Structure 1
Amino acid sequence: MSNFQFLEPEFKSLATTAKEAEKLVYISPQFALAAARTSLENLVLWLYQYDKKLTQPYDASLHNLLNDIKFKDLIPPYIWDKMDNIRMVGNSAVHGKKFKQLTTEETVRHIQHLFLMYVWFERNYGSPSKDRSQSIIFNPKLIPNADNTQQITANKEQLQKETEAKEKQFAEQHKALREREQKLFELSASLEEREKLLANIDAELAQKRADVEQAKIANSKIEDHTDYKEDETRKLKIDLMLEEAGWEIGTTVREEVAVTSMPSPSGKGAVDYVLYDANGLPLAVVEAKRTSTDPDIGQQQAKLYADCLEQQTGQRPVIFYTNGYKARIWNDVQGGPPRLVHGFYTQTELKRLIERRKNNPDLGSFPINAEIVERYYQTRAIKAMLAAYQRKERAGLLIMATGTGKTRTAIALVDVLMKANVVQKALFLADRTSLVNQAHNAFKANLKDASFVNLLEDKNQVGRVYFSTYQTMMGLIDEMNADGTRKFGTGMFDLIIIDEAHRSVYQKFGEIFKYFDSLLVGLTATPRDEVDRDTYALFGLESGVPTDYYDLDQAIADGYLVPPKAYSVPLKFMREGVKYDELSEEEKQHWDSLNWGDEDAPEEVSASKINKELFNTGTIDLMLKHLMENGIKTEGGDRLGKTIIFAVNQKHAQFI
């Protein structure tokens, strides 16, 4: 028997992964929690596949799957917290070389939360015909070998090897299955068969999703009396978040800290958590509310605790308040409203925040380095960003035409913020390796006193300005150090520079900007009326109103850019399309012989469809011939100059 036996009838594969985690509890907590994380991942992928409300995000890491807005709307907070707890402790088990050895009791608690997560899942997604009048209770005695730990410990090494072998075998079987499916697909005799195969797969998925939706509706009418242990889950979540940021419960973190001078009859109170520095001074207070409660209710309570600790110690702590599901930070001394954060600051990062309270510089008084930027619009853009930060705004968007020096403007902005001691660490993000390397070289050439880290080349180096692609940083967000702490914590960067900040970046990689609690500056050449409103919203701006902009027309008028020249290419088909009646007899015969699919040969193909639907060798040959004869030449006219050819799609590009 097993605590997860109830899953067997309908969800056998999920039951198998959960049982694997359960039976490893007394053998190895590390392996048990790693297996629990794998089980969670399988469940989350099941939900994305079969719940019609979910669409898999661009980057399908477990962290991103759990934090997708639609997923968080779908999953109740008290279940989402359990999922995130298992992800966090599983990450530490998988990636932390110095895995914190948990007690048997702690490991059992995590497995119990995995159990409760599956209870909720089965109650919502299982067959509506099942009798759910009785609650399913977790029974620790069902965990295998609970009374035989000595013998298990003796065989631990052998059992771990067997577990590793099973995981490897499962991965190989999974890979072989995927490869076989791909081969079958590739061996389909025709495009028509492939399309039919895909249509069948889509139809089966659509039917499964419809069945799942019906089950959910029916199950929602049955009252659930399960005790999901919300308070226990919330505390566990907060403890894990603190540990990931390098805090130790009982030493650098104390719980239920007594304070006096509260505005109550007794004047006494107890702070849920206080985070201390090495000298015993409070760096932060954490007010924890129930998972089902809005954490904002704790804001005033947390402020009163901070007041009391400031009176008692002379140092005002930074304020956090959370329900485990959402957390906010409030550094009320420096102004600015509370803001959502993904985790707690490290001890070093909190000390930096508190030290900066003494440093409230007038950013407009710092000179802008004319050796980095000398053009008026670059200086204007930097001043606009500095003014926004001075007003306690957290972000800004600079729109500058291609070729007008966006990167140099960003470098000069970083230079001012570092001299003002507002920024110690900055991160530059771009969507391509070549752009990251270009920015890295430009910063090194112009910012002489800083140290630089190109994360594409070395992920373990330490510096002041970091460079990465969005894709690489998405992967690094979830990485752990050898001691089980996060490699890149919430408060690591003071400023993030977002190159080519537009909708596609926001949609694919928006999680980066939610994860890091930093100042933001976006750079884009997209005209301001074409920037999507979601992008403006990311930077807290009104749609169509960037922090500063310098457009192509103005750059041309100022003489910094030259205008484009248009050339008319004398290819009739490209301008007017193809009409059957206007073709020669030979061309008509060729037209009739073409494969038009199930349709009759059309009477004409419009100019807009020429390259979209009719890849014409002759037309492309003529276009390339015209380019070779009339394009801009270099090296004495013997070689074609730098040229960009735009294609309609990937197929068209390959055809060209």
Structure 2
Amino acid sequence: MTPEAQARQVIDERLRAAGWQVQDYAQLNLSAAPGVAVREYPTDTGPADYVLFVNREAVGVIEAKRDEAGEQLVVTESQTERYAHSRLKWRANSLPLPFLFEATGQLTRFTDGRDPAPRSREVFSFFRPETLGAWAAQPATLRRRLRDAMPPLASRNLRDCQTAAVTGLEQSLAANRPRALIHMATGAGKTFTAITAVYRLLKFAGARRILFLVDTRNLGKQAHQEFMAYTPPDDGRTFTELYNVQRVGSAGVDRHAQVCISTIQRMYAALSGEALDESAEDIPAADVARAVKPGRVVGYAAELPIETFDFVVIDECHRSIYNLWKQVLDYFDAFLIGLSATPDKRTYGFFSENVVAEYSYEDSVADGVNVGYDVWEIVTDITRQGAELKAREWVDHRDRQTRKKRWAETEDDTAYTGKDLDRSVVNPSQIRHVLQAMKTAVETKLFPGRREMPKTLIFAKTDSHADDIVQAVREIYGQGNAFCRKVTYSEKQADAVLTAFRNDYAPRIAVTVDMIATGTDVKPLEVLLFMRDVRSRGYYEQMKGRGVRSLDANGLRKVSASADGAKTRFILIDAVGVEKSLKTESRSLEQKPGVPLKDLLHAVALNQRDDDTLLTLANRLVRLDKQLEGKARARIEKASGGIPVRELGKALLHALDPDAIAQAALATARAQGISRSEDTLLPDEIRATREARVAAACAPFDAPELREQIEHARREREQLIDHVNLDTVAFSGFGAQAEDEARRTVQAFADFAKAHKDELAALSFFYQQPYQRRALTVEAIQELAEAIARPPLMLTTDRLWAAYARVQAAQVKGTGLQRQLTDLVALLRFALGLDAELKPFADTVNQRFADWIWRHNGRRATAFTPEQTEWLRLMKEHIASSCSIARDDFDYAELAARGGLQKAWGLFGEELDGLMAGMNEELVA
């Protein structure tokens, strides 16, 4: 059999599976079935491989190729289109056939010729005859309706971020982009946003059926509840009164349902023939995939044809679209809409980087949608160092699954680390000390005015570990069973416990492994205790997201009666170093927890505007806004010139937005006629833009009356905190336990400088000054940067600066700023004891420039003119980024744009070389 014949055999099988009867032209019988595929049908341009008839009317054409031609199918489109426009023998109608297919035995592509700008797409198999018949009868295709029939969005009951998300999605769909990603912070209302979009697609775009795909049964239940509660802005009825919403179960998809909610595990089972273990729907799909037998692939399912859904909304898409589960998404011919708070690179890649909405955690905090968080660390000696059990010691040996114990001697010396805890070794004392430290911190420092334990969620390593924690919590707090409950997949009453945890007084503390680590809404949560490490950045962000939900005062008091106002923050208690084991995408806005608000306000007024200071002030203002009453709020707004306190905080956050800074810098450069892209923006341009944005955001705080009103409002809400020393814990408090590592980093750099002082020009410059002050160049600094980046140091300027900030915080300035290469000069001077404080190299250059120009103006017969001063400033900026300036440097960047060496010589004449030499010597050394 030839390759072409083999391909046609597979095509015939696929057509029959989709409900078509395949006939040769010589045996044509159009009344034999509703859908007939006729092979080798004659046209006026030659025989078409297949012509498709529905109810005796020709509707489409298939161009068949051998399997090896799969990569050439796009080239074949013109041939298919030729047949579609040809006159079919014995056909009275001369209109082009609307439905065009190209197929091999492995690959099928489809084009709807009636779409605006018809574009082919890969499909899993062929559509059923009744589907093509229904499409042919419609006056406009789905893609045309998406472009032309969607009215403006009514934004009532929608947050700005939700309006932006729905609008961006509809613009993407109108452009016929098959995949779209909505990235919205946890708590921002992704499901509500998705339901709004689903409602509009059903009502205005005429969508037939939409699949809402989740990866656990619990998330499906939550989604169904939200559909039932949703009331559209243009109709008084609920969504489920208007449309049939089905939670897909063992009976399969209801043909009368417009929205089907299903786990991806159930869809995979239906399409692959794999028996579904009902319990698999209770576990996140990513975890289930590891246990499923490999090699089971999705095949065509007659009861679920590929056109079953027009759209697939994928909740928590960052964890359910890969590997095994991707087959489900490849199967349906539908637009894919992803929802995620924590997309990673794979997620962006899957959705073709088509991010139709992006709403970050920081944005959500600034808008009051979510609350910020503070990090409290607990470190015990055994957590940090481990311990050792000697041989022949009598200890309990416990079975992991049954928890049955036996009393026996140890056979060998057993040393274990903190990572072994609660896996191969259980140390009850370690668990007790962590929980006791948490109890003490919550009662005396974090929530000192509370009469009840704030709602707390503890993340355990395993189900057995969770059992140990539950028992220890009850003992330490002296409470009964209702006080602390386990919520894991093994718990039969997990759903009831979770509902009580969310809405009732008890339980106060819940212990989980994975079940409520993601996607579960528990708004009253105020404490998260991590007793397990997490390696996945996205998963960690999701776990943190359990605490970010905002809640008004009445809602919080329903479950925590002694709360004195709305939920303004949550506390992340890190007992395993989880904050240091990976880089998280969100960050605590509270960078300076020990600095009073009054000092922050004065610092900003006195031009201390590093990222840490501004982020902390923004967080305090947003938090204060949630606590204020009407009169205090009005007084602050009056003092600020009409700006609400929350907007003051948001302005600080937006001023530091790196994307917005880059765009503003680009706009400024282009307005000046300078060609730039984001990749070619100069550090000086970015810095100047940041400074301008920060200056505008900080301007209101120059007013003493505003600072006084903010401080007065804070004092009205202030609580006394009782500081209690804990003597059973190695460390418990804000800050970083990595101080030892920072000290080692600082010492290693100092040792390196001494050991290589004769080898590297930059080191030699400082060790031998003042005799070689003119020898320092940017090349020498680059050489040093490359040297410290290699083993064994493997240091960057940022990491080294951060180490000094941790070890000698009082002497380090500009911690939050973006580091420049020339900041290595500042690091060297500080390490060698030449400077008493570590601050950005540019700040030192600026200070010395001010002194230098003042002295020169005093010596000259006439002071520098304004134009000369501006040029000297430009030269100073070049020195700040390059360590020196010479005649050749006037060919670069802003100096060249202002006229270069010729202009500078015209302003200074023969004095120019002397000025450059003086600046090189006095501004750098």
Q: State the distance in 1 between where 2:259 and 2:87 align.
A: 35
How much does 1:433 deviate?
0.4
Q: Secondary structure at the match of 2:63?
A: strand
The answer to whether residue 341 in structure 2 is matched with residue 560 in structure 1 is: no
Matches for 1:506-655 after TM superposition, within 5 Å = 506-526=322-342, 528=343, 531-533=344-346, 535-541=347-353, 546-569=355-378, 571-574=380-383, 576-578=384-386, 601-602=414-415, 607=418, 610-611=421-422, 614-625=425-436, 642-649=455-462, 652-653=465-466
The answer to whether residue 13 in structure 2 is matched with residue 240 in structure 1 is: yes
Whether contact under 8 Å (1:364, 1:387) holds in the other structure is no
Q: Secondary structure at the match of 2:84?
A: helix
Whether contact under 8 Å (1:397, 1:539) holds in the other structure is yes
Q: State the distance in 1 between where 2:80 and 2:221 align.
A: 45
Q: Secondary structure at the match of 2:176?
A: coil
User: 189, 195, 200: which is aligned to 1:416?
Assistant: 200
Whether contact under 8 Å (2:391, 2:410) holds in the other structure is no
Q: Secondary structure at the match of 1:436?
A: helix
Q: Deviations over 1:302-352 (max 9, x none)?
A: 111111159944253211111111111112432353222111111232244
Whether contact under 8 Å (2:390, 2:413) holds in the other structure is no
User: 46, 49, 53: which is aligned to 1:276?
Assistant: 53
Q: Deviations over 1:526-550 (max 9, x none)?
A: 1x5xx133x2222122xxx722111
* Inter-CA distance 438–383: structure 2 relative to 1 (3 Å threshold): same
Corresponding residue number in structure 2 for 1:305: 83
Q: State the distance in 2 between where 1:290 and 1:579 align.
A: 66
* Inter-CA distance 415–629: structure 2 relative to 1 (3 Å threshold): same
Whether contact under 8 Å (1:399, 1:549) holds in the other structure is yes
Whether contact under 8 Å (1:285, 1:318) holds in the other structure is yes
Whether contact under 8 Å (2:53, 2:60) holds in the other structure is yes
Q: Secondary structure at the match of 1:383?
A: helix
Whether contact under 8 Å (1:282, 1:317) holds in the other structure is no
How much does 1:476 deviate?
1.6
Q: Secondary structure at the match of 2:162?
A: helix
How much does 1:364 deviate?
8.6
Q: Secondary structure at the match of 1:249?
A: strand
How much does 1:638 deviate?
8.9
How much does 1:402 deviate?
1.3
Corresponding residue number in structure 2 for 1:467: 261
User: 167, 173, 177: which is aligned to 1:389?
Assistant: 173
Whether contact under 8 Å (1:274, 1:284) holds in the other structure is yes
Q: State the distance in 1 between where 2:133 and 2:205 align.
A: 14
- Which amino acid in structure 1 is aligned with residue 247 of structure 2? N
Whether contact under 8 Å (1:364, 1:383) holds in the other structure is no
Whether contact under 8 Å (1:321, 1:328) holds in the other structure is yes
Q: State the distance in 1 between where 2:225 and 2:435 align.
A: 35
Matches for 1:449-460 after TM superposition, within 5 Å = 449-456=242-249, 458-460=251-253
Q: Whose RCO is larger (CA < 8 A, sep 6+)?
A: 1
Corresponding residue number in structure 2 for 1:326: 107
Q: Is there any run of 5+ residues in structure 2 with no aligned partner, and where?
A: 24-29, 231-238, 275-299, 398-408, 470-925
Corresponding residue number in structure 2 for 1:368: 153
Q: State the distance in 1 between where 2:465 and 2:119 align.
A: 51
* Inter-CA distance 229–315: structure 2 relative to 1 (3 Å threshold): closer
How much does 1:431 deviate?
0.5
User: 232, 247, 255: which is aligned to 2:38?
Assistant: 255
How much does 1:568 deviate?
3.7
Whether contact under 8 Å (2:393, 2:410) holds in the other structure is no
Q: Is there any run of 5+ residues in structure 1 with no aligned partner, and where?
A: 1-227, 263-268, 581-586
- Which amino acid in structure 1 is aligned with residue 60 of structure 2? A
Matches for 1:83-482 after TM superposition, within 5 Å = 230-250=3-23, 251=30, 252-256=35-39, 258-262=41-45, 269-278=46-55, 280-294=56-70, 296=73, 297-308=75-86, 312-334=93-115, 335-354=117-136, 355=138, 357=140, 359-362=144-147, 366-370=151-155, 373-446=157-230, 447=239, 448-456=241-249, 458-462=251-255, 463-478=257-272
Equivalenced residue count is: 401
Q: State the distance in 2 between where 1:598 and 1:339 align.
A: 65
Whether contact under 8 Å (1:577, 1:610) holds in the other structure is no
Q: State the distance in 2 between where 1:510 and 1:459 align.
A: 20
Percentage of matched positions with identical amino acids:
26
How much does 1:521 deviate?
0.4
How much does 1:254 deviate?
3.5
Q: State the distance in 2 between where 1:367 and 1:261 align.
A: 47
Greater CA radius of gyration, 1 or 2?
A: 2
Q: State the distance in 1 between where 2:459 and 2:148 align.
A: 44
* Inter-CA distance 364–306: structure 2 relative to 1 (3 Å threshold): closer
Q: State the distance in 2 between where 1:258 and 1:302 align.
A: 13
How much does 1:524 deviate?
0.7
Q: Secondary structure at the match of 2:97?
A: coil
Q: Deviations over 1:345-367 (max 9, x none)?
A: 11232244442646545469523
User: 496, 504, 509: which is aligned to 2:312?
Assistant: 496
* Inter-CA distance 247–609: structure 2 relative to 1 (3 Å threshold): same
* Inter-CA distance 461–629: structure 2 relative to 1 (3 Å threshold): farther
Q: State the distance in 2 between where 1:572 and 1:363 align.
A: 66
Whether contact under 8 Å (2:98, 2:114) holds in the other structure is no
Q: State the distance in 1 between where 2:40 and 2:5 align.
A: 19
Q: Secondary structure at the match of 1:440?
A: helix
Q: Deviations over 1:539-563 (max 9, x none)?
A: 122xxx7221111111011111112
- Which amino acid in structure 1 is aligned with residue 51 of structure 2? V
